Amino acid sequence: MLCTIVWSSSEAAESGAYDITASTEMPHLEENLRYATTRERRCLQADEPASFFPILQHPSLEGCRLAGDRLVCASPEVATGSVRLDEAPGRVTGVLEVKMGGKNMTFAQRVEAVRLGGCEPAR
């Protein structure tokens, strides 16, 4: 059974190493450019739900953060959006839907993160 995560809690997901598959869907582009999928392994902290979405590291979304179920940017002209994250034992799935401010451009990033275990100690 999946449950919606309330990300205001620091206990939202278990910290650790995750294998993250992110699929970005851009419906405004032509068919062969519409979808992009990436896969990476990263150490994530339970109190940083935005780290599950690689697109939030993009310079065009600088100053944006997740606040509950919303994407909030320092300037609303940058972007607005919504987020949903669901947790199951050892797995987090979610979708971030974004509308770039001042433009008719929307996209969504869907993620599936599988916990691999604890994080490697820093060297």
- Do residues 42 and 13 make contact, with C-beta atoms less than 8 angstroms apart? no
CB 111 within 8 A of CB 21: yes
Strands 16-25 and 35-44: antiparallel
Helices first, then strands: H and E counts in the chain:
0, 8
- pLDDT, residue 36, reads 83
Q: Position 39: which residue type?
A: R
Tokens of 118: 């604890």
Give the model confidence (pLDDT) of 21-59 as tens digits.
999 888 776 665 566 888 999 998 877 888 899 999 989
Domains in the chain with CATH codes: 3-117 (2.40.128)
From the CB of residue 79, how many other CB atoms can be counted at a distance below 10 Å?
A: 22
pLDDT tens digits for range 64-103 = 999 999 999 998 788 999 999 998 999 999 999 999 886 7
